[in-house]
Structure 1
Amino acid sequence: MIPSARRLSSTTCALTALALTLTALAACGANPASGSRDQAARATASAPPRPATLAPGPAGLTPVFKKAPRTPASAAPTVALTFDADMTADQGPRAAAGERFDNPALVATLRRLKVPATFFMTGRWAEEYPAQAKDIGRDPLFEVANHSYSHYAFTKRCYGLPTVPASRMRADMERAFAAFRKAGIEHQVPYFRFPGGCYDKRALRALAPGGVTAVQWDVVSGDAFATDADAVARQVLDGVRPGSVVVMHCTRSAAPTTERALRTIVPKLRERGFRFVRVSEQIRAAGEGRAAK
């Protein structure tokens, strides 16, 4: 026979064990999907919104964006500086021989002046400069858009560039996005700039399944192969209007004066009351303006 004190102790232990068992069973009986839904909701709430795109154009063609709508009189006018990081698929030997297609000083100046910007990067450039591509693509000040993989033309007769066959156009674009992912670019956006700015309905039709918005410009900086930074700055300052998209370049060998021109362009436009934005902000404003009509 068990003494009474030991019987009480045993009873207490049994009750404790039973309570723990019931608690465990209750937890196991809970709906696991509920926890998953809660976690997914929290993740969705903390995730940044997907960059805006424009609705497909007529006949389902890739939409084309050139500039933002005029801002209300009560708001500061916006301007987007865009930089083409060009490198064609066949320029590897030139890079190996020492030609520089990057421009770290330009990126540093944008950061120092706190200027948001959109980089239209070729996949070949991202492969040649993966560390720089990753650095640009992880900076919340910037966003990286697609400028094709090869920087070959998507139409015939485009500044002497080799031509991408229509059957390969979408694959060329997708190859660039793959190069961005491999380089670790985080802030990539679903925008595409045609090499040379050359496109036709065939090219717009070829890229339509990719869900991108084609981005052109309304202000040409004239920095390509320019040697006079002041002339580049004057051309930009004379051309910018509220909502403008300025096309510039991020390649030392092909646009050696761009960084110096920026040192004039940025403070002068700020004096005029302009606010610098990324292209994604302008496209969102354009989309909201169309929806309101």
Structure 2
Amino acid sequence: MFTHVRRITALCALGAALAACGTVKAPRAAGGAPAEPTASPSSAPPSRPPTLTPGPGGLTPVFTNGPRTGGKTVALTFDADMTADQGPRAAAGEHFDNPELIAALRDLKVPATVFMTGRWAEQYPAEARSIGGDPLFEVANHSYSHYAFTADCYGLPTVSVDRMRSDVEQAYTSLRKAGVPHPMPYFRFPGGCYDRQSLRALSGLGVTAVQWDVVSGDAFATDADAVVRQVLEGVKPGSVVVMHCTRSAAPTTERVVRTIVPELRKRGFRFVKVSALISQTGAGR
């Protein structure tokens, strides 16, 4: 099950309002955002990952893109989706991981943010630990089992309101148990679907909800060139691109990355993590 765009005016307006009114603050957790290229690996955690200030009444803030005037930076994000009931399919040989994609990002020295479900981390703990321990990447929360936080979200099963907070907390527990030492205080709603009720349910967790402004279209795609065109046509300074780290249903993503990275660099873009874009929000949008 994969992330899609939810084109609902009310939600977009809410997300934009919250992101626009947010200011950068230092949360309780640890994390960071080295610029491209990253330094050599280190076991020491970066410090003070940036988050947005909560909205009115403590509502969970929403981040969609970085400043348009802060330089030609772009963040590639990858959703590592896996539902709780897909374990038997993984055991039968279906690949919900994509080590070749991660290898490509390392070869190209591209900082990236991986939004990982707790279930994915449990299925692939060695890979979760490897990604989480690599300073080139940052790992963030994509729920425990990729169930939707609103009704009518592309056919996804839903999490009840009273379970939303614990679902996010369970995902963080799974990430840490898998060996991700410093998961970031960022949360991506499954399917990108959220409303005021779900934002309120996560209030007080200290997370910033992270959306995107460029849809790669890699989910279920078989034409890598079409995905490449979509990304290159959509990227602007400060963009957040949503892609996927699941071979079985996003088989073109590695090829797409190997094409778009050199082309965007040729156009003057610099790749950063989501945390770096959030830290720039005080510079304007």
What does 1:1-293 align with in structure 2 at a 5 Å threshold? 48-72=46-70, 76-286=71-281, 288-289=282-283
Work out whether residues 71 and 78 of structure 1, in 8 Å CA contact, stay in contact via their aligned partners in 2: no
**Bigger fraction of residues in helix:** 1
**Root mean square deviation, CA, Å:** 1.3
Give the alignment's TM-score, normalised by structure 1. 0.81
Structure 1 segments (4+ residues) deviating >2 Å = none
The alpha carbon displacement at 1:122 in A equals 0.1
Instruction: Please give the alpha-carbon distance, in whole angstroms, between the structure 2 residues aligned to 1:187 and 1:264.
Output: 30
Distance 2:195 2:206 in 1: 17
Higher relative contact order (CA 8 A, sep 6+): 2
Structure 2's unaligned 5+ residue stretches are 1-43
Which residue in 2 is equivalent to 1:9? none
The residue number in structure 2 matching 1:3 is none
AA matched with 1:246: V
In 1, Cα distance between equivalents of 2:275 and 2:181: 15
Shift of 1:289: 3.1
Q: Distance in 1 between matches of 2:244 and 2:92?
A: 21
Q: How many residues align?
A: 242
2:154, 2:269 → 1: CA distance? 33
The sequence identity of aligned pairs, in percent, is: 74
Q: Which residue of 2 is the match for residue 35 of structure 1?
A: none
Quick check: 2:45–2:182 contact (8 Å CA) kept in 1? no
Q: CA deviation at 1:233?
A: 0.6
1:171 alignment partner, SS class: helix
Q: Partner amino acid for 1:50?
A: R
What displacement does 1:181 show? 0.8
